[in-house]
Amino acid sequence: MTIVFRLKGFEQEGFEIQYAVGVLRRGGLVAFPTETVYGLGALVWDEEAVARIFQVKGRPSDNPLIVHVSSVEMVEKVASRIPEDAYKLMEKAWPGPLTIVLPKSERVPRTVTAGLDTVAVRMPSHPVALSLIKKTGEPVAAPSANLSGRPSPTTGYHVIRDLMGRVEVIIDAGATLQGVESTVVNILTEPPMLLRPGAIPVEDVERILGRKILVPGFAKGLEQAEKPLAPGMKYRHYSPNAKLILVEVPQYTLECLRELAGYINRQASLKSNGKLCVVATDETLQYYSSNGLKTLSLGSRRDLFEIARNLFPTLRKIDEEDCRIAYAEGFPEQGLGLTIMNRLRKAASEKHYLNC
Ligand code: TXA
Ligand code: MG
C-alpha cells in the first residue's frame, strides 16, 4: 500500500516528513520532491531497500544511483577522498542541481554504485528533500522516481502514475522548479568530464572550477557511452510511446526555423494514419497552424529555463494526446540548450538533420 502525502508549498515540519523518515529507517521506499525531478529514496546503507529501488523501477542493475546528502559531513561518510575541486563545487553550487562523482568509501553497498569504485553525490536544494535527509540523519540513495525508460517525473501526479502501489510513501509537493535532472560531473579525470548535462549549465560549473570541462559526444546525447565512463548513459531514456522524430538545423535563426517547420509539415502530409503532433515553441507555432498537426508548445525560445521545465511534462503529454508520431524541433547547444538537446536526442527514435 502506498500513502500519498500532499504538501502545500515547502512545508518541512509536519508529521508527514517524520513518518517518511520512519519508513526510510525501517527499510522502506519514499518518493520525494527535489528542485530538479522527483526522486525515489532508500537509506544508502540498506542494501535490500536499494535493491528494491531497481526492482520497482525496472532499472538495469548496472545503472548506479545518486546519493543525496544534507551536509558535507555526510559526503565524508560515503566518499573515501574529497579532492579540492569537489570542495570548491560543494561550496559554490550546493545545495543545488550538481552531482559530483567521488571515490566511494568501503561502507557504500555495491548495489548503490552498480559495482563501481566511485559514488555520485549531490545536495538537493528543495526544502522538503533537505529536511527529509537531515531528519533521517543518513544519506539517501535515489534515482528519479519514474519507471525506467519513462520521462522523469516533475509533478507528484507523474510519480503516482508510475509508482502507486509499488512504494511505501509518495510525498507530493506539486511541480518541481527546474524540471530536468542534475548536472553530473566527474572531477577525478584530467580534464574533468561532463557525464550528463543538467539543470546547472556546464559553463557555470567551468566558471566555479576555473577550468575547462570536457564535453564528450555522449553528454550531448550523440553517441552511446562506454559503460565504465558513464554508466546509465547507454540506455535510451525519457521516451514517449509515440515515435519521436527530432529535427535539427545548423543554426536556429527565424529563417532556419521556418524551413524546419516547412520540413515537418511536408513530412506530416506524407503520413496517412494516426494522430500527428509537433512539439513546437511560441515562435514557431504559427508555421504549423495551417496543417492537421496537433501542436504542443514548450514555451519561448528566449527562455530556455521555461523550455527545460516544460520538457518532461510535454513528453508525457504526447502519449496522453495519443499521438502516433511526434516531431520535435532542436535547440542551440549553449547553456541549458545542451541539456535540452541531450534529453531530446535520447528520447527520439529518429533524428533528421536539415541544412538551411
Ligand atoms: O536531479 C537528479 O539528479 C535526480 C534527483 C532525484 O536528484 N536524480 C536522478 O537520478 O536523475 P538518476 O538515477 O535518474 O540518474 C543518475 C545518473 C545515472 O544514470 C548515472 O549515469 C549517474 O547518475 N551516476 C550515478 N553514479 C555514478 C557514478 N558512480 N559514476 C558515474 N555516473 C554515475
Ligand atoms: Mg532517471
Q: Residues 41-63: pLDDT tens digits?
A: 999 999 999 999 999 999 999 99
Query: How crowded is residue 45: how many other Cβ atoms within 10 Å of its Cβ?
Result: 16
As for ligand 1, residues whose beta carbon falls within 6 Å of it are 34, 36-37, 39, 63-66, 97, 99, 101, 113, 116, 118-120, 124, 142-144, 181-182, 184, 195, 230-233
* Mean pLDDT on 284-296: 87
Helix, strand and coil content of the chain, in percent to the nearest 5, comes to: 35, 20, 45
Q: Is residue 2 marked as binding? A: no
> What's the confidence (pLDDT) of residue 238?
74
Nearest CA to ligand 1 atom 27: 120
* Mean pLDDT on 163-178: 97
> Nearest 5°: CA angle at 280, between 205 and 260?
95
> Nearest 5°: CA angle at 27, between 24 and 33?
35
C-alpha cell at 43: 537509506
CA atoms within 13 A on the CB side of 285: 11
* Mean pLDDT on 137-144: 98
> What's the confidence (pLDDT) of residue 176?
97
Q: Per-residue pLDDT tens for 223-275?
A: 776 555 666 665 666 778 899 999 999 999 999 999 999 999 999 988 877 89
Q: How far is CA 282 from the centre of its chain?
A: 24
* Mean pLDDT on 130-154: 97
Domain(s) labelled CATH 3.90.870.10 in the chain stretch across 3-184
> What's the confidence (pLDDT) of residue 170?
98
Instruction: Please give the share of the chain, as a percent, with pLDDT higher than 70.
Output: 96
> What's the confidence (pLDDT) of residue 290?
64
* Mean pLDDT on 344-351: 94
| Ligand nearest to C-alpha 40 | 1
Q: Per-residue pLDDT tens for 321-332?
A: 999 999 999 999
CATH class of the domain comprising 3-184: alpha beta
> What's the confidence (pLDDT) of residue 52?
98
Place domain 243-353 in its CATH homologous superfamily: Threonylcarbamoyl-AMP synthase, C-terminal domain (3.40.50.11030)
Nearest CA to ligand 1 atom 31: 230
Domain(s) labelled CATH 3.40.50.11030 in the chain stretch across 243-353
pLDDT at 175 over 70: yes
Instruction: Please give the share of the chain, as a percent, with pLDDT higher than 90.
Output: 89
> What's the confidence (pLDDT) of residue 240?
80
For the chain, the average pLDDT equals: 94
* Mean pLDDT on 191-206: 98
> What's the confidence (pLDDT) of residue 292?
76
